[in-house]
Amino acid sequence: MVQEKLLLRALRGERTERPPIWLMRQAGRYLPEYHVTRAAAGGMLELCNSPDHAVEVTLQPIRRFGLDGAILFADLPQLAAALGQTLDYVEGEGPTLSPPIRCAEDIDRHLSAERLHENLAPIYETVRRLTVELPADVTLIGYAGAPWTIATYMVEGRSGGATDHAIIRQWALSDPDSFQPLIDLLTQSVIAFLDRQIQCGAEAVQLFESWAGLLPEPFFRRWCIEPVAAITAALKARHPDVPLIAFPRAAGLLYEAYVAEVAADCIGLDTTVPLAWAARRIQGEGRCIQGNLDPQLLVAGGPALAAETDRILRAATGGPFVFNLGHGIPKTTPPDHVGALVAQVQAWRG
């Protein structure tokens, strides 16, 4: 009898003999082979929309490090582009979306889910090919941005790090009823997007709420908790055996409400979340936690990295646990540091 993949066992609530490990942004700019592939594709937009190149980039960290999970290589704003905005990548600025969505009339004028799957077809083909190309013991993770996070791109017209998000916050907080249709459209689109990824072979999926920390409590509940709870419920109804990871980065004390109301199989932890709380509150209910090494320690490497990795392993392996970062790998990360981290985690027997 073939044993189920290690990562899937942990995500489904099993305390495994060692924690599985994968890393957010594990395929990307810190790897020299990534830059070769991106140049061959002709740029970021072409890379994301070329299954040949996207498959290659997804496989690169698996070949190098023997990670337990491979996350589909795509980019969060591709869903916004599939709904009708024009996506471009400006050197030094990251993704831009035009025209920006700034009012209810813009939603009706510029956005439609009518061609959603047609526009996202290259991503689905990448998933199908990865099911064949990945090693048999590696779990394929699909993903999408959560509705609030995708909306930040769509309204601001640029990537999160390049803006203070004043435009979207003023709209969402001052006129929530006119903003609601955008979240509703995104919620249904994310359900359809992840459902199709699962149909094509994704074995688990993650929802990235990268900008959860922008919202005060009542709006956090409306724009972060309620849409993700709806997405989780819909996907669980269709695919009850496919684990879902929800990652509300920078939610702070609102993690408590998020955990209570979002029925995800695994909760991703940012670097600020105390592991003792997560072990008691999340693992204590038989749910998996994922995280939460500070990415800058991965850049630093050496004794500091080893010591913090050991602390996390000791604190989190009493229940179902997936080792990961508290955010994505920085582009300045030496690949050797990633190799050392993976070796330490995979050698752990707690």
pLDDT in tens, 110-164: 999 999 999 999 999 999 999 999 999 999 999 999 999 999 999 999 876 767 8
Cβ(272)–Cβ(252) below 8 Å = yes
Provide the H-helix boundaries in 96-146: 104-110, 116-119, 121-133
Task: Spot the catalytic one: 29, 64, 102, 222.
Answer: 29
- Give the 3-state secondary structure of residue 77: coil
**CA angle at 83 for the pair 78 and 88, rounded to the nearest 5°:** 45
Cβ(37)–Cβ(29) below 8 Å = no
Task: Spot the catalytic one: 75, 195, 265, 294.
Answer: 75
Provide the H-helix boundaries in 145-301: 147-156, 166-174, 176-200, 217-220, 226-238, 255-261, 275-281, 295-300
Q: Would you give the DSSP letter of residue 169?
A: H
pLDDT < 70 positions in the chain: 1-2, 160, 162
pLDDT value of residue 164: 87
Task: Please state, in angstroms and rounded to a whole number, the distance separating the CA atoms of residues 342 and 344.
Answer: 5
Task: Spot the catalytic one: 12, 38, 169, 196.
Answer: 38
pLDDT value of residue 91: 78
The CB-side HSE value for 91 (13 A sphere, CA atoms) comes to: 1
Cβ(70)–Cβ(134) below 8 Å = yes
The CB-side HSE value for 144 (13 A sphere, CA atoms) comes to: 32
Task: Spot the catalytic one: 9, 12, 25, 249.
Answer: 25
Is 25 tagged catalytic? yes
Average pLDDT, the chain: 96
- Which residues lie across from 246 on neighbouring strands? 207, 267
Q: How many CB atoms lie within 10 A of CB 175?
A: 12
Is 38 tagged catalytic? yes
Task: Please state, in angstroms and rounded to a whole number, the distance separating the CA atoms of residues 198 and 4.
Answer: 17
pLDDT value of residue 94: 85
pLDDT value of residue 2: 59
Cβ(55)–Cβ(130) below 8 Å = yes
Task: Spot the catalytic one: 153, 158, 270, 287.
Answer: 153
Q: How many CB atoms lie within 10 A of CB 294?
A: 18
pLDDT value of residue 299: 98
Is 75 tagged catalytic? yes
Q: Which residues contact 197 (CB under 8 A, 6 or more apart)?
A: 72, 123, 124, 127, 142, 144, 205
For the chain, the distance separating the N- and C-terminal CA atoms, rounded to the nearest angstrom, is 26
Is 29 tagged catalytic? yes
Is 153 tagged catalytic? yes
Report if pTM > 0.85.
yes
Q: Which residues contact 41 (CB under 8 A, 6 or more apart)?
A: 47, 50, 53
Task: Please state, in angstroms and rounded to a whole number, the distance separating the CA atoms of residues 75 and 82.
Answer: 12
Looking up tokens 């249709």 gives 181
- Which residues lie across from 165 on neighbouring strands? none
Task: Please state, in angstroms and rounded to a whole number, the distance separating the CA atoms of residues 215 and 176.
Answer: 13
